Amino acid sequence: MNIYNMSEARAKLFSLADQVQESHEPIILKGKRNNVVILAQEDYDSLQETLYLHSIPGLVQSILDASKEPLEECSDKLDW
């Protein structure tokens, strides 16, 4: 993960945005008052979706249990 101070980041903002989008690796910007992280929109959206799915009680355990079920025992019909 790359770390830049705010002055460096200001001078390279457009290239840093391109770099984050291409590499999908966040960049940390360190400042005197605070630090921030630059993420690609796609990565941010993915994190938000993951957090949402983890907030649904029992969903993660249900997915883990289902992943252990042999494929032959799975139904090709939807329950709904």
Cβ 27 vs Cβ 1: under 8 Å: yes
The whole-number pLDDT of residue 8 equals 96
The whole-number pLDDT of residue 46 equals 97
Q: How many structural domains is the chain composed of?
A: 1
The whole-number pLDDT of residue 31 equals 95
Tell me, yes or no, whether 22 lies in a domain: yes
Domain with 37, as residue range(s), is 2-68
Tell me, yes or no, whether 17 lies in a domain: yes
How does 1-38 read in b/e, with b if 16+ C-beta sit within 10 Å? eeebeeeebeeeeeebeebbeeeeeebebeeeeeeeeb
pTM equals 0.72
With a cut of 50, list the residues of the chain below it in pLDDT. Answer: none
The CATH number of the domain holding residue 7 is: 3.40.1620.10
Tell me, yes or no, whether 62 lies in a domain: yes
The whole-number pLDDT of residue 78 equals 65
Tell me, yes or no, whether 37 lies in a domain: yes
